[in-house]
Amino acid sequence: MAIEVRIPTILRTYTDGEKAVSADGASLSALIDDLEAHHPGIKDRLVETKDADKGPELRRFVNVYLNDEDVRFIGGLTAELKDGDQVVVLPAVAGGAETRQRIR
Amino acid sequence: MLTIEQATYDAIVAHAKRDHPDEACGIVAGPEGSDRPERHVEMVNAAGSPTFYEFDSTDLFALYKEMDDRDEEPVVVYHSHTATEAYPSRTDIGLAQEPHAHYVLVSTREHGNNDGPVEFRSYRILDGEVTEEEVTVVDRLDPVRSA
């Protein structure tokens, strides 16, 4: 099984500069674990555990798309993957004058 | 240093004034590695807020797909501050995730939707470090040198 994962500029330090890498996993969660096995450190940039009961979640300001669809609409980390799927990671483009702590 | 065409500069300022008091946001794309801000793309502020901006996730995907198809990257990422100075806030710094981009901030605090000068400043934001840079406005970007 091979799934192409497109890596944004800011995370290419984890992939030796590669724009796209291949990874395996039956779910997005498993895919991210497989990415981490080959590109240590990348998982922490994609997921976080804010609430121990809920477990890991995608980071608020990282967008992951499965075949052009934002995975938040199709199950998030539990989204199922199949051979030939394409996953795209894009950092959110966001900010603003607000100074209240809203980032994490 | 950011070198930008007068027409692009004017379009960014006009966008910021039009959307005031909400923050306006967008990019100027250019060929990958060229550092040439050539193609202005206004984005919708999905947050619709005077103190926060965020590209809609579907729009973001479409934008990056289009840039990818055209071998472009975001040379400039801009947004406005509508009540404060044109300097990156802690939020801006924490969320800056395009290491090659010039982050442009426009402040509309003085004249709002009306005519009048605005602050237009540019920064590099890398690993939480902000470096302001000079902005040079030109009539036309230099022609691309052919090989």
Contacts of A62 (CB under 8 A, 6+ apart): A45, A46, A89, A90, A91, A92
In a domain, B143, yes or no: no
Q: Domain count for chain B, please give it.
A: 1
Query: Does A99 reach chain B within 8 Å, measured CB to CB?
Result: yes
- Partners of A20 in beta bridges: A6
**According to the model, what pLDDT value does residue B33 have?**
94
**What is the 8-class DSSP label of residue A101?**
S
Q: What is the tens place of the pLDDT at every residue in B37-86?
A: 999 999 999 999 999 999 999 999 999 999 999 999 999 999 999 999 99
Q: What is the pTM of this model?
A: 0.93
CB atoms within 10 A of CB A58: 19
In this structure, is residue A13 part of a structural domain?
A: yes
Banded pLDDT at B146 (limits 50, 70, 90): low
Cis check for the bond before A91: say yes or no (omega within 30 of 0): no
The CATH number covering residue A45 comes to 3.10.20.30
Q: What is the per-residue pLDDT for B14? A: 98
What's the rounded Cα separation, in Å, for the pair B88 and B125? 9
> A9 touching B, CB under 8 A?
yes
Average pLDDT (B16-26) is 98
Taking contacts as CB-CB distances below 8 angstroms, the residues of chain B near A99 are 89-91
Distance from CA of B147 to the nearest CA of A (A): 26
The residue ranking higher by pLDDT, B15 or A98, is B15
What share of chain A in percent tops pLDDT 70?
93
Q: What average pLDDT does range B101-121 have in this prediction?
A: 96
Q: According to the model, what pLDDT value does residue B144 have?
A: 80
Residue A98 domain flag: no
- What is the mean pLDDT of the segment spanning A16-34? 97
Parent domain of B61: 2-138
- Tens digit of pLDDT for each residue in A64-82? 999 999 999 999 999 999 9
3-state SS, residue B140: coil
Q: Does B91 touch chain A (CB under 8 A)?
A: yes
A17 touches chain B (CB under 8 A): no
Question: What is the predicted ipTM?
Answer: 0.94
- CATH number for the domain that contains residue B131: 3.40.140.10
Residue A104 C-alpha, separation from nearest chain B C-alpha, in angstroms: 10
Structural domains counted in chain A = 1
Indicate whether A103 belongs to any domain. Answer: no
A101 lies in some domain: no
Asked whether residue A56 carries a pLDDT value surpassing 50, the answer given is yes
Q: Which domain holds residue A53?
A: 3-91
Residue of A nearest to B77 (CA): A93
User: Which pLDDT belongs to residue A104?
Assistant: 43
| Average pLDDT for A4-15 | 97
Residue among A17, A29, A20, A40 at smallest CA distance from A86: A20
- Residue A79: predicted pLDDT: 97
Task: Inform me whether the pLDDT recorded for A103 exceeds 50.
Answer: no
CA pair distance B53, B100, nearest whole angstrom:
20
Residues of B in contact with A64 (CB under 8 A): none
